[in-house]
Amino acid sequence: MDVPVDSDLARVRSFIDEAQRIVVLTGAGISTESGIPDFRGPQGVWTRDPAAEKLSNLQHYMADPDVRRRAWQARLQHEAWDAQPNAGHRALVTLERAGKLDTLITQNIDGLHQRAGSSPARIVEIHGTIHEVVCMQCGERGPMSGALARVRKGELDPACFTCGGILKSATISFGQALVAADLRRADQAARGCDLLFAIGSSLKVFPIAGVVPVAKDADARVVIVNGEATEMDALADAVLHGVLGELLPTLVSGLISTS
């Protein structure tokens, strides 16, 4: 991994100084230092178990009670429950408090950006959240904690109290449509920004990875910050390879909070 030199960091810091409307897209890479594994990195969930990626789609979940029972057991053990925000999340709070952040689009479902202090009103959780459950029949939503309490008491595949439908975490699985309003909001933010950061993402999952070329086509600068190369690096005005928990605080140090 080619570690960025001071001139690369200085160049990206100058981009931040010149920008007024920054959009940030984060991926699982910003949460690994909080103990939540990513998917396609060297120790990623799909890297270690390619078959698991195929199983994590909606039709398997809806069709097979055994897949749901395993999913509920996995939710009980999810690393997000004990995870704390890390320096990378906090760096994005600094960016927001300096008045530079327009929208934070996250592919992560762990809620760590909110826990770090990023304003929920600026966050688009484009792949949903693990902190809520939704009934796949009537759409009723509730806290994940309540559903997990039922699983701990022995309900291995808890059904919706209102209609008896299948309950699922309020995350967007493969085969499931994204929330159209969220996608529109992310697209509009990318079209209106003057600087887009793609942080901790392999940029392999669409449609949301598409905000990178959208921002580029709208004459925004694009900066990719990641532990390894992505297929969109050639699009970027700057690419920083390194550990996010070290790189991001360096990029925002010296920014003055305006709020």
Out of 8, 33, 110, 194, the only residue in the binding site for ligand APR (CB under 6 A) is 33
Min separation Cβ 244 and ligand APR, Å: 4
Nearer to ligand APR, 160 or 208 (CB): 208
Residue 183 contacts ligand APR per CB under 6 A: no
Residue 29 contacts ligand APR per CB under 6 A: yes
Task: Evaluate whether 201 touches 84 at the Cβ level (below 8 Å).
Answer: no
Q: Footprint of ligand APR on residues 112-131 (CB under 6 A)?
A: 127
- Residue with structure tokens 């699922």? 168
Out of 41, 85, 111, 158, the only residue in the binding site for ligand APR (CB under 6 A) is 41
Stretch that binds ligand APR, among 26-34, 67-75, 180-188, 232-240 (CB under 6 A): 26-34
Distance CA(154)–CA(131), nearest Å, equals 20
Closest residue to ligand APR, based on beta-carbon distance: 29
Cβ contacts of 227 within 8 Å, gap of 6 or more: 1, 29, 41, 200, 241, 242, 243, 244
Around Cβ 250, how many Cβ atoms within 10 Å?
A: 17
Nearer to ligand APR, 28 or 186 (CB): 28
3-state DSSP assignment of residue 197 = strand
Report the candidate in 121, 37, 35 with the shortest Cα–Cα distance to residue 86.
35
Out of 107, 118, 129, 169, the only residue in the binding site for ligand APR (CB under 6 A) is 107
Q: Is 78 a catalytic residue?
A: no
For 107-144, give one letter per residue: b (16+ CB within 10 A) or e.
Answer: bbbbbbbbebebeeebbbbbbbbbbbbbbbeeeeebeb
Residue 226 contacts ligand APR per CB under 6 A: yes
Residue 249 contacts ligand APR per CB under 6 A: no
Nearer to ligand APR, 142 or 227 (CB): 227
Distance CA(198)–CA(37), nearest Å, equals 18
Q: Footprint of ligand APR on residues 44-103 (CB under 6 A)?
A: 44
Burial, 187: exposed, middle or buried (Cβ in 10 Å; 0-12, 13-18, 19+)?
middle
Instruction: State the catalytic residue, choosing from 113, 127, 131, 241.
Output: 127
Residue 202 contacts ligand APR per CB under 6 A: yes
Give alpha helix (H) positions in 32-118: 45-48, 50-55, 58-63, 65-76, 87-97, 112-116
Instruction: List residues near ligand APR by CB under 6 A.
Output: 27-29, 32-33, 38-41, 44, 107, 127, 200-202, 204-205, 226-228, 243-244
* Positions marked catalytic: 127
